Amino acid sequence: MTLDTKDRAIIEATQAGLPLVPQPFAVVAETLDMSENELLARLKSLKSQGIIRRIGAAPNHYRLGMTANGMSVWDIDDKVVDELGEQVGSLSFVTHCYRRPRALPVWRYNLFAMVHGNSREEVLIKRDRIADLLGEACRASDILFSTRILKKTGMRLSGQKG
């Protein structure tokens, strides 16, 4: 993966969002002093490299009424955790799904799946669906509801390196 100066400039110019006009890429290209075709080609390349995951909109969970969020955590047999993690991730209500290391003895869970919902009850129902999917491979589980946002900064993606 290589990012040249122009790619960096594209990332810098678009990470806060695209202008909401009929031809957003033409507007960005003009500010970057490149043609729209070059910009689109470079964006396609960034996408094929996995640097761009998708082009679209992020819904605001809270504004849409999804005020409850629970981090469900699971102790899964290491032999099957990757296979099951794929299945948990593909559930339509799981927003993030990761395998992480245990921190024994205080933390036995190796699979983390974030679940959002309109209420804790709804999140718990979704948690139960994950439990059904995991079946006997799950040795223990817990769910940690967030009670307060203590800090939230926009993720600053550095476009200055390279």
Spatial separation of the C-alpha atoms in residues 110 and 128, rounded to whole Å: 18
Does 104 help bind other proteins (rule: CB under 8 A)? no
HSE-CB at 70 with a 13 A cutoff on CA atoms is: 22
* Token reading at 49: 């490299």
Spatial separation of the C-alpha atoms in residues 68 and 125, rounded to whole Å: 12
Does 20 help bind other proteins (rule: CB under 8 A)? yes
Using CB under 8 A, pick the residue from 93, 122, 124, 133 that binds other proteins.
93
Does 31 help bind other proteins (rule: CB under 8 A)? no
Question: Which residue, 57, 83, 64, is CA-closest to 137?
Answer: 83
> Which x/- pattern over 44-83 shows residues binding other proteins (rule: CB under 8 A)?
x-xx-xxxxxxxxxxxxx-xx-x----x----------x-
Of 119-138, binders to other proteins (CB under 8 A) are none
Residue span binding other proteins (CB under 8 A) among the ranges 41-49, 124-132, 133-141: 41-49
